[in-house]
Amino acid sequence: MTEVEKQRNNNEKRERILEGALKAFAKKGFYNTKVSEIASEAGVADGTIYLYFKNKDDLLISLFEDRMEWVIERLQAELSAVSGDSLVKLRAFVHLHFLLAVENRDLAEFITVELRQSAKFVKEYKNPKFADYLRILQGLIEQGQAEGLIRAELDSKLVSRAIFGALDEVLLQLTLSRSAPGDVVNESTQISAILIDGLITRD
């Protein structure tokens, strides 16, 4: 095997383990999943997992980072294709948040439910990918403030947090109730109406 082939082989195995972990967590939850069950989902030997990840917490965080990178790339690509002002883009952001979740249920469940079960993740991990996600949202708020469309006195960081919280909670309910994708247009329209109409400047 050449070095390039070896690297490709490594990447494929790593991806298979991450995918196996996602499936295993969706079935039994983070705490109840054994490393051997992840190995079995991934079709690798138990020991192989430790060649790629230190422990289950490390696997959880790597899985999150890897998938969030994908989410962020997709968000950026879709948002840059939207023509319009910051409010149009914010509505698209809200819609995409729900859409990506219903298209990827295991991932949505992982992010809204399983991830929080790791105290390490919630309390110690700095979470650079989530910071990237929030930065996109905060950037849209600030763009809106610069355009004079969003009230200048609002703290863009606090507002991004609040919007994320609203999206996340509604999504948690959708995920737990396993709602059909069709439902999401209603959710996304109503949440946009509340949050965004609450942000616009008024005379």
Nearest-approach distance from CB 149 to a second copy, in angstroms: 14
* Binding test (CB under 8 A) with a second copy, winner from 29, 128, 148, 181: 29
Nearest-approach distance from CB 154 to a second copy, in angstroms: 6
* Binding test (CB under 8 A) with a second copy, winner from 31, 54, 84, 147: 31
Nearest-approach distance from CB 79 to a second copy, in angstroms: 21
Query: Side chain identity at 20, as an amino acid letter?
Result: G
Question: Is residue 122 within 8 Å of 174, Cβ to Cβ?
Answer: no
* Alpha carbon distance 63, 116 (integer Å): 14
Could you give the C-alpha distances from 86 to 76, 113, 125, 190, in angstroms and in order? 14, 30, 31, 18
Nearest-approach distance from CB 146 to a second copy, in angstroms: 18
Interacting positions 120-159 with a second copy (CB under 8 A) = 122-123, 151, 154-155, 158-159
Q: Which is nearer to a second copy, 146 or 194 (CB)?
A: 194
Contact flags string 157-176 toward a second copy, x per CB under 8 A: -xx-xxxxxxxxxx-xx--x
Is 16 a residue that touches a second copy (CB under 8 A)?
Answer: no
Which CB contacts under 8 angstroms, 24+ apart, belong to 197-202? 199/87, 199/90, 199/141, 199/144, 199/150, 199/151, 199/154, 199/159, 200/87, 200/149, 200/150, 200/151, 201/148, 201/149, 201/150, 201/151
Q: What residues line the site for a second copy (CB under 8 A)?
A: 29-32, 113-114, 116-119, 122-123, 151, 154-155, 158-159, 161-170, 172-173, 176, 186-187, 190-191, 193-199, 202
